[in-house]
Amino acid sequence: MPRESKKAKRERAIEMCRRMGELYPAVESALNFTTPFTMVICVLLSAQTTDAAVNKVTPELFRRWPDAEAMAQADPAEVAEVIRSIGFWRTKSVHCVEASQMIVSEFGGEVPHTMEELTRLPGVGRKTANIVLNKAFGIVEGIAVDTHVYRISCRMGFSKAPTPLACEKDLLDLLPHELWAPVNEQWIHFGRDTCTAQRPKCDGCPLVDLCPSAFKADGNPKAKAKKRHAK
């Protein structure tokens, strides 16, 4: 097979984003947060843990420590007891307290809104910072690449990067800036609904004609897709 040109790959990626917009026109985060601070903590807690699991612990967490000033004074051991049902709860409890202390001591109790400042907070990497900037402040500086976005990007042939961070660079180079904002939420939902990790539902997938790695579990889904588009 001839190698795909960058122009053709970009056109395919843009078409995918268009279809994602039709499938998920008003998608919202599955995490329950009310302020930039609670958003930082929610996203920090969600690393390698389901959003549903995070939503189970945050009501009590934020009842006890509703803002940075309160959580900055918390005992990490007490925070750990509240969140112990989620993955890496010991480390995350320390990050919650230390991030809150930095927000209070260096940013006057307000969550910073630059990539450089956010990624200084303990437990906050580029992915978390991208989500907070986008959702809390309307600043689109990049694309948050989680496991779903990374998996879909590789399956679609948009990236061969060895890490999500490197994958983000490929996506930023491929997609125009105006399409960056909804990618994370839309692709997460698509990854949960259709392009799942273990058994992707390629037959009937609205992107199967765009996908170079569509699974052939049920006949030839690409051939079926071409027939549908030809009608």
* Catalytic annotation, residues: 127, 146
Burial bucket for residue 219 (CB in 10 Å: 0-12, 13-18, 19+):
exposed
Burial bucket for residue 33 (CB in 10 Å: 0-12, 13-18, 19+):
buried
Token reading at 80: 């750990």
- Nearest-5° Cα angle at 120, 138 to 93: 95
Query: Of 142, 150, 101, nearest to 125 (Cα)?
Result: 142
Burial bucket for residue 199 (CB in 10 Å: 0-12, 13-18, 19+):
exposed
CA dihedral 80, 85, 89, 95 (to 10 degrees): -70
Q: CA of 71: how far to CAs of 46, 65, 143, in Å? A: 18, 5, 29
The H or E element spanning position 69 is helix 68-72
- Contact (CB, 8 A) for 153 and 171: yes
How many angstroms separate the CA atoms of 100 and 109, rounded?
8
